[in-house]
Amino acid sequence: MGFNEEILRRRTFGIVSHPDAGKTTLTEKLLLFGGAIHVAGAVKSNKIKKTATSDFMEIERQRGISVATSVMGFEYQGRKINILDTPGHQDFAEDTFRTLTAVDSVIIVIDSAKGVEPQTLKLMEVCRMRKTPVMVFINKLDRSGKDPFELLDNIENELKIHVRPLSWPISNGPTFKGVYNIYEEKLNLFSGEDKQTIAESIELKDISSPELEDYIGSKFAKTLRDELELITEVYPKFEVETYLKGDLAPVFFGSALNNFGVQELLNCFVDIAPYPRPVHAEERDIDPFENKFSGFVFKIHANMDPNHRDRIAFVKICSGTFKRNTNYLHVRAGKNLKFPTPTAFMAEKKSIIDEAFPGDIIGIHDTGNFKIGDTLSEGEQIHFKGIPSFSPEMFRYVENADPMKYKQLAKGLDQLMDEGVAQLFTNKFNGRKIIGTVGQLQFDVIQFRLEHEYGAKCKYESIQMHKACWIKTKDKEQLEDFRKRKFANIAIDKHGREVFLADSPYSLQMAQEKFNKIEFHFTSEF
């Protein structure tokens, strides 16, 4: 297969949602239909002993939540599918925001009983900003939920995007009969008490046919016909171009837990979702069909296999062909590196590959050379933007709880901070280490991983702090004055940059007014 054909057959997408909408369960079922796994795991279940494929970290198995993005690739209908399952919990939103820089399209999962929730809104903002095409999967139809038209209005009003249903539920909750696939003009009926299996998939191009009554009964047949007619009148005709521009979201209904509507979503997705798109760099736009290789690191994960203490940099390939054992320029470091064991992913399972193409996500072993946002190229100086660290909102002093394990703690903190789960600051005044996060749960995750992956114990001490902001100025005199006056509130981040630790909104405002030639930045990209 030629280079261009390899690009055209790739589909790289992220699955995002509010916590508990069923995102990881949907990922499992997509893997199941794609033949990548043979038994679907569960995120929370007493009956199913297999945990979700994408939740591979010990803390994820214990808590029943996703705390890190995982990457899974598989083949389906001649296409190469790359799924990035992201954490839904807002405390891990930074990981999700960075992941959205590496995908070409997104599937948003919405709980049919709850509709659009706050975290979904934030993620949609990122998609809109990047003009990323979006599909919506309304989940949990096997439970009683909101009326489908009410849900569609809710999505349009909250997510500020036009919608077009491409499948439609026949009732919901206990009387749920199945899904009518508008896109393929098929009726999918479900049977069995547990409704785990598709009883029949019937081609039914003429919805007015009396056959419909035979399958679902006259009451449900009349309702379905009326609702489908209303859809045609109210919603715009589905056009792939409008979807690809990010102006229209196709909507599918189903239940990921019980396999309803998942295959319809997958079949339509591989048909209409975009192949790898151009990526914006500071210098120019990088076209995937260019012959020269380029890619960027959007995530670093320490200890994917705790037995080997390995650290993996996740690289999104933007253009050209990546080849194993070939020298590539690490742009920030200005040196050439060779990668003997690049890997493809199935969550924590890895397999060594010889080459990879635009749209693919590969893992490369990292001994500390990389940080998030780094670029690899065949010699060109390229810098990819849009992968920032955000200003933390919660802070704790971190102390060693076991004096015998000082080295393990230092190494653990160093590696976990490289992942971008949190940020580490060293106070210039007293030399104490401060961890800053965007959510409370991250402190628990850090403590858990330090103990279970590095054999180190830490304890936290509270600290009164409002915001950390990076400072920059050309006025050396004002900078010196600022350093003297705010000596107790200045820290150094992991990369040696000065950070002002404001202890209240008032002190931040006063600093901005008094030192007006100093720029105060709330993301690390400036």
How does pLDDT run across 299-337, given as a tens digit for each residue? 887 765 555 556 788 899 999 999 999 999 999 999 999
26 in Cβ contact with 262 (< 8 Å): yes
Q: How many CA atoms lie within 13 A of 62 on its CB side?
A: 8
pLDDT for the residue numbered 366: 84
Q: Please, what sign has the CA dihedral across residues 259, 260, 264, 269?
A: negative
Taking residues 387-412, report their average pLDDT: 85
Tokens of 490: 């200045």
Mean pLDDT to the nearest integer, 383-399: 79
Give domain 13-70+87-173+232-272's CATH architecture: 3-Layer(aba) Sandwich (3.40)
Residues of the chain with pLDDT > 70, as a percent, come to 83
Token pair 């909102």 is at which residue?
393
Cβ(138)–Cβ(112) under 8 Å? yes
Query: For residue 61, what pLDDT is reported?
Result: 46
Residues 87/100, Cβ–Cβ less than 8 Å:
no
Helices (H), 324-467: 406-418, 441-454
- In this predicted model, what pLDDT tens digit does every residue of 404-436 receive, in sequence order? 999 999 988 888 887 777 889 999 988 999 998
CB of 165 closer than 8 Å to CB of 231: yes
Distance of alpha carbon 462 from the chain centroid: 30
pLDDT of residue 440: 78
Asked if 458 and 402 touch (Cβ cutoff 8 Å), the reply is no
Lowest-confidence region among 52-66, 249-263, 491-505: 52-66
- Shared fold status for 13-70+87-173+232-272 and 279-377: yes
Per residue in 156-167, pLDDT (tens digit) is 999 999 999 999
413 contacts 460 by C-beta, under 8 angstroms: no
| Bridge partner residues of 194 (DSSP) | none
Average pLDDT over residues 371-395: 82
- The pLDDT, as a whole number, for residue 188 is 76
Alpha-carbon span 313 to 188, nearest angstrom: 42
Residue spans of the domains in the chain: they are 13-70+87-173+232-272, 279-377, 394-521
262 has pLDDT over 70: yes
Exposed/middle/buried for residue 406 (C-beta within 10 Å: 0-12, 13-18, 19+)? exposed
Q: Is 178 left (phi over 0), alpha (psi -120 to 50) or beta?
A: left
Contact status, residue 514 vs residue 506, Cβ threshold 8 Å: no
Q: What is the pTM of this model?
A: 0.77
- Give start and end residues of each alpha helix (H) in 48-88: 58-63
Confidence category of residue 49, pLDDT binned at 50, 70, 90? very low
Report the amino acid identity of residue 482. Answer: F
Q: Say what the pLDDT of residue 42 is.
A: 40
Identify whether the C-beta of residue 354 lies closer than 8 Å to the C-beta of residue 5. Answer: no
pLDDT of residue 274: 94
Task: Identify the CATH number of the domain defined by range 394-521.
Answer: 3.30.70.3280
d(CA 147, CA 393): 38
Instruction: Assign domain 279-377 one CATH number from 3.40.50.300, 3.40.50.2300, 3.20.20.140, 1.10.10.10.
Output: 3.40.50.300
How many CB atoms within 10 Å of residue 308? 9
**Cα–Cα distance, 31 to 91 (Å, whole number):** 26
Burial per residue of 122-140, b for 16 or more beta-carbon CB atoms within 10 angstroms, e otherwise: ebbebbeeeebbbbbbbbb
* pLDDT number for residue 89: 44
In this structure, which amino acid lies at residue 104?
D
Q: How confident is the model at residue 170 (pLDDT cuts 50, 70, 90)?
A: confident
